[in-house]
Structures are given as C-alpha cells and as structure tokens.
Homo-oligomer: A and B are copies of this chain.
Amino acid sequence: MRKESRWIRWIKWIVIVTVLFLLGFCIGWFAKPSNTQNHKDSSHYLKDFLGEMKADKIREHLRKFTQLPHLAGTEQNLKYAEQIMKEWQMFGLDSVEMVPYDVLLSYPNESQPNYISIVDHLGNEIFNTSLAEPVPQGYEDISNIVPPYSAFSAKGQPEGDLVYVNYGRTEDFSQLQREMGINVTGKIVIVRYGKIFRGNKVKNAVLAGAKGIIMFSDPADYWADGIQPYPDGWNLPARGAQRGNVLNLNGAGDPLTPGYPAKEYTYRFSPEDGVGLPNIPVHPIGFHDAILLLNNMGGEIPPNNWKGALNVSYRIGPGFTDDFKSQKVRMNIHTNNQVTRIYNVIGKIRGAQEPDRYVILGGHRDAWVFGGIDPMSGAAVVHETVRSAGRLLSTGWRPRRTIIFASWDAEEFGLLGSTEWAEDNARLLQERAVAYINADSAIEGMYTLRVDCTPSLHTLVYDITKQIPSPEEGEEGVSLYESWHKRDNWTNDRDAPRISKLGSGSDFEAYFIRLGIASGRARYTKNAKTERYSSYPVYHSVYETFEIVEKFYDPSFKRLQAVAQVRGALIFLLADSQLLPLDVNEYAESLRKYAQSIAQLAQKNLGKMETYKVSFDSLFSAVENFTVAARDFHGRLQTLNKADPLQLRIMNDQLMYLERAFIDPLGLPGRPFYRHVIFAPSSHNKYAGESFPGIYDALFDIENSADPAKAWEEVKRQISIAAFTVHAAAMTLTPPA
C-alpha cells in the first residue's frame, strides 16, 4: 500500500469512528427519558379541544336540562345530577362522584301561599297580589313550578303602612331618615329591585326597624326599550317576579354550619343562631302588583332619582293618601326553612405529571324554575367542555395537572353547594388549587364578551380570545378579542377590552374570596352603556326558558359556543401549560390602580385626613415593592430552565400561591369568611367587587359614624393591613432562599 492511501484509510477510520460515536451519543442522549415530558402538541390539542365544542351540542344540552323545574333539594334536581354524572362518565372522565350535603334551604308552604294584601279598616283583604306568574306557553302542564318568593324570609303576617325607599340601599335609607325625616320602625318598606343585592336591601330594612319588606321589579330597571315581553320578546311580563334568597351570609355557606361542611355528623346551630337569616318577612312582586300597592300611596313626592318607570307618583308614604288612610298593607308569609340534602357532581381528569395541582371549572345546576339562562346556559357550556375534554382524552391527551369539573347544587340559596365543598376540601384546595373558573349563566345579553377575573389572568384571557372567532354575524374572520375590544374598550388609559373585578353572587366566592385561588368568569353580556337594566329582564322568573335563549339571546348558539371556548381554553391552558400562564406584572399594575383609586376616594375628606393623620404612603410603598418584586420575578422566569422539573415546580408554586398571599386569615372586619384583602364585595352590596374592601368599608362607615375619631382609626388600621398584605405578597415572589 502506498503511504498516501494509508493516510486516507486512517482518516476514513477516524471519520467512521467519530460518526458512530456521535450517533451512539445522540441516541443515548435522546433515548434517556427526561423528567420533563415534552408536551409538543399542547397547542395542537388545544385546537382540537376548542374545535370539538359544537353549538348544536350546546343547544342539545340546554334543551335537555331545561325541560323541568329543578330547584335545589327537589327530586328533579337530583335526577339531573344523576344524568350529568352518567354522561360525564360516558364522556370519559377518570372519575365522577356525587357529593351530598345537608344544608338549610327554604320553600314556600304548599298549603298556605305567600301573598300581600291591602286590608280595609275591618281587616278584610280588598286586594291580594298574585300567587303565581302566568306560566309560559308549552309549560302549562308542568308541576312543581315554585311561585315567586324570597327564600329564607321569616314567617309572619305583619300589617302596617308602606314606606317606599327607592332601591333600599344604605344611602336610600340614610336619605329617608336624615333628609326626609321618616322613621320606618314598625313600617313595611317597599323597594325596587336593582343596583344592589337583594339581601343587602333586606339587611338595611331590618337595621332601620322595618317589620316587613316588599321588593318589586320596576320597568325602569327590568325593561328594555322597544322589546316585547316574553314570549314575544325578552322583556319581563308585568306579572313576572324575581325569586331569590335574601340572606346575608358573607361567604359562610350553609347558615347552620358556618366554616364546616354540612355532613351527617356536623354540628348544626339552631335556626336562631344561623348566619344571615332575616328576622322579618320578605316578598317579591311584579310591577303589575306593585302599581296597585304604590298607586294610592301618600306622603311626599321623592326626588327624581327615586322614581321608576311606572305610572305612579312614587310617593314615599308612610301609608296611603287621605282617601285610603284606613287601609293597611298585610304580608302573608309562610315560607319554611328546612335542612335538605343537596348534591354536587364532581368529575376529574387526573393530571399526568402533577396530579396534585388542580384546575377547577365549576358552575351550578339548581335553578329557580327552568333555568333557561340561569344557570343552564352555563351548565350546558360546561357539559360541552366535559364532552370535548373526554374526546381529547380518547386521542391520547392527558393534561399536566388535574382538572376538576363541578356541577354545584343550591347556588340560588346562598352558594351552598360550592361553599360546602370548598369547606370540605379546604386543605387540599389551599395547597393544590391553581385556579377556579366559574360557569354560571353563560349569556345575559347579546352584545359582547364580559370577563371578570383576578389580574394575573388578564394576559391569558387576552391570549385566548385572540385564538377564538367572534360569534357575531358579519364578523367572519374577526377574533373574539377584536370583536370584544371594538365594543368595550377598557379606558382611555388602556387600549384593550375591559376586564372587571370579581364581586360575588356566584360560586367562585369561596374559592376566590375565602381561599385565595386565582379565579375568573366569562359570559356574553349586554351593552352596559345603553342597556341600563340590572342583570336581564326575566332574571329568576318562570320566563327563563330554553326558548328565550333559542329565540332571542343566541339563536345560532354561537355565543354560547364562544363562551364555552373561552372557559375551556382557560382550564386547558391552566392545566396543561408547563409554566403557569399567570401574569404577576398585571397584578402589580392593578394594585397600583386600586391604591390610587382608594386614596382618591379618601381625598374627599382631605381635611379630616390631616386632622387624624391618615396617610396612604405605606400602601403606595408596598405597591412599589410589589411592582419591583413582580418585575424581578418575571425576569427570572425568562431564564428558568424548564427542563428541570424541580426548578419549574418551584416557580409554578410561587405563581400559584401569589393569590393565596392576599388572604388574611383573620378575615375582613365582621366577615370572617371574606378574607381576600384585595378583592371582596362591599358590605353594602354583595354584587359589587371592591378593591381594598377593608379600606373601602372603613371609608364608607365614616359617613355614618357617631365617633369620627374612632372611624378614622379604623381607616388607618385597614391601610396598615393592606400595606402589610401587599408587602407579604411581594415577599412570595422573591427567590425562595
């Protein structure tokens, strides 16, 4: 052999050896199982998941679950629970179980109907309000339609003069007593529905000394211009009335077992010691009946903002005009409280890598009557989400984290099913829950999307809605984000669709405000700028049928489909993303706005603030501290080695526990189950989510305080608690050691 050829041979050998070695190395490297599952197809799966959700299927589900009334605690609602359980099992969830609790519910007495009378001087009932709403066509043969009533009303037959108190808000009663000089002690008050939660109206009436309270739906608040009453349109018929509970639970759940799940062995308070039960009769009526009660009222004519849209003068009383002075109003209320078994349905998809991290999609199933909108438009959406998730499972997908689906019972009686389950599972949820997505009514209007959520979910909501098509006709190719953005821009400061704070009034309450789990809700809504009625006209009436959705709210069911996709994408990405899609910078930004806004509210009393040395500096400084911690945390996320399962878990834990950090175990003053220092309903309206609610309430109380020095001390204390909490939350974002 020639020398040259030998060289070439050597080179060949070296090349072969090297190539083989590298080949072996590479195969060895990649053959070794990595602890971080490469979840290559997550976005592909998301597409399949969303694509699988069908408008027609949602229509089917809604039709199926609105055939019969299914009030909490009734046989029919148990039947629907069993059906849902069976279908979720069929859809392919890993487990589905029925979880019962025995809670205090409230029903009209079947042999003694509730009504309100005008009685003459002999005590004869010369006018009685309707015993029931006229049943809509097609439902005439249905039994078990509960007549309009106020759940948990005290029993009784108080008789007396009426006093009209507008919406029954704290400020209305205050105006009545201070400016108009009217004392309602021993009177029956009549207020219109709207603006605030009805339970707050009842509480105000009790505090003012009234011996009964009547609530009516005024067309000013429950009527859309140019729309026919149901069944020809979606307005509330004159004889329609709004059912609803009138509790002041402040998050306690079952009134007899506050803080603990209502199980068989659980100690129950006697009804006198129960939480939030009113001690006076309460009853709701439609505007047809309201006219007849208001018509002859005497007393002064109120300011214009006390006047509704009825053809009456809205005189405040007390009592009727001279001509009818001997007539009184009598309430006849025989409603019973009774401990009753309720049923949650809980379905699970076990997480592949982190089974001990929970993402929850929950919504209620119980309805006042058919629940066409509330809640079944939401429950149908959940049902379709479960079906779609089941399909995905069958194609080999399994989420990184555990997904829990819940069909709650007895929401209408005070969020009871969801709260009892939260109490039952508090330890697990506290340590393990990543997020709670609420699924009450999916539609309350025909205009655009509405999202209320914790600030850390803002970015995810935007990302998601950009991937979902608009359901509106004529908006083919337009994303839900664009459609929403066009209709409801946030503010002048922020060019993005508006996202609101969470208040209360639905099942997320225990998860968000008591336990501090990042929460959100999404639904289709009305145009808040032009449609000024509260919720939607037929809310909690017998006219909430399948047909009202099919004919008016969403004939194509594409709006519900879009809501299903939003809710579905939220749980999908929260459960399946390697890194939790929670944005700490958004939380910082929101805290900054909230701090400014609460400080501004206090500025109304600038002089007093100086007198009592009240300063928001500590709060601003805490927010600044949080902002820096969030920015640094976000920076570290960029360099996180996601292939290291422990490092990933550690940062995900920091993200998960951020919301928890805002929980004060001592609770807000007088409200031990409202523990979120950043978000809670005002004490004066359960529906209104306030930021820094402790400070907000303390400022509110200054107006009415007999001891302003003490009231301002409370403001200072609340500022200090808020500042501490924000500092403490910032600490959770710093490197753990």
A residues within 8 Å of B by Cβ? 17, 20-29, 31-32, 35, 94, 259-261, 263, 265-267, 348, 350-351, 353-356, 358, 402, 424-428, 431-432, 617-618, 621, 644-646, 649-650, 653-654, 657, 660-661, 664-666, 672, 675, 716-717, 719-721, 723-724, 728-729, 731-732, 735-737
Contact = CB atoms under 8 A, between A and B. Distances in A.
Contact of A22 (B24, B31, B644, B646): B24
Contacts of A660: 427, 431
A716 B267 CA distance: 7
B720 A427 contact: no
Contact of A427 (B28, B267, B426, B728): B728
Q: What are the 3 closest A-B residue pairs judged by CB atoms, nearest first?
A: A24-B24, A28-B28, A356-B736
A28 B35 contact: no
A571 to B, nearest CB: 15
B720 A260 contact: yes
A488 to B, nearest CB: 35
B35 A717 contact: no
Nearest to A264: B618
Contacts of A666: 259, 672
A599 to B, nearest CB: 15
A36 to B, nearest CB: 8
A643 to B, nearest CB: 8
B724 A263 contact: yes
Nearest to A353: B646
Copies in the complex: 2
Contacts of A29: 28-29, 31-32
Contacts of A729: 427
User: SS class of chain A's interface: helix, strand, loop or mixed?
Assistant: helix
B736 A432 contact: yes
Contacts of A266: 720, 724
B737 A402 contact: yes
A432 B661 CA distance: 13
A355 B736 contact: yes
24 contacts: A28-B28, A29-B29, A29-B32, A94-B737, A259-B664, A259-B665, A261-B724, A266-B724, A267-B716, A267-B719, A351-B737, A355-B650, A355-B736, A356-B736, A356-B737, A402-B736, A427-B657, A427-B731, A431-B657, A432-B736, A645-B646, A646-B646, A665-B665, A666-B672
A163 to B, nearest CB: 39
Nearest to A37: B646
A668 to B, nearest CB: 13
A263 to B, nearest CB: 7
A273 to B, nearest CB: 10
Given A24-B23, A265-B618, A724 B644 contact: no
Contacts of A424: 728
A693 to B, nearest CB: 17
A731 B650 contact: no
Contacts of A358: 737
Contacts of A267: 716-717, 719-721
Most buried by B among A26, A716, A724: A724
A414 B485 CA distance: 57
A653 B356 CA distance: 9
A646 to B, nearest CB: 5
Given A650-B356, A736-B355, A736-B402, A428 B731 contact: yes
A265 B717 CA distance: 10
Nearest to A425: B731
A260 B356 contact: no
A343 to B, nearest CB: 19
Contact of A431 (B260, B653, B735): B653
Most buried by B among A267, A653, A719: A267
Contacts of A260: 720-721, 724
A474 to B, nearest CB: 44
Given A26-B28, A425-B731, A737 B35 contact: no
Nearest to A21: B24
Contacts of A617: 265
Contact of A20 (B17, B402, B728): B17
Given A261-B724, A645-B645, A737 B25 contact: no
A24 to B, nearest CB: 2
